[in-house]
Amino acid sequence: MSEYTVYLIECRDGTWYCGITTNIERRMKEHNIGVGCKYTRGRGPVILRGLSEEMSHSEALKLEWRVKKESKNKKLDTLTEGRK
């Protein structure tokens, strides 16, 4: 079973993006070459700002949803709180 992490990146324009992955190195490369996701295309390079502990796919999706609901200044705190 793959373990997932939730990550938070900052784009060149100052906006933040949250996603989940099983391989953060691969995912960062994808974001930085413009194939990571539609949102980050044209907003690179991106900088990794936070990474959760490994968790199940279901837990990662729930945490990603919680992080995305938060205001920009609370996203990192919610991410680092992790599973609750």
Tell me how far apart the alpha carbons of residues 67 and 76 are, in angstroms, rounded to a whole number.
Answer: 8
pLDDT at 67: 95
Residue 76 in 3-state DSSP?
Answer: helix
What are the pLDDT digits (tens) for 16-61? 999 999 999 999 999 999 888 888 988 889 999 999 999 999 999 9
Write the burial class of residue 62 (CB in 10 Å: 0-12 exposed, 13-18 middle, 19+ buried): middle
Write down the CATH number for the domain with range 5-81. 3.40.1440
Residue 83 — pLDDT band, cuts 50, 70, 90? low
Domain map (residue ranges) of the chain: 5-81
Exposed/middle/buried for residue 58 (C-beta within 10 Å: 0-12, 13-18, 19+)? exposed
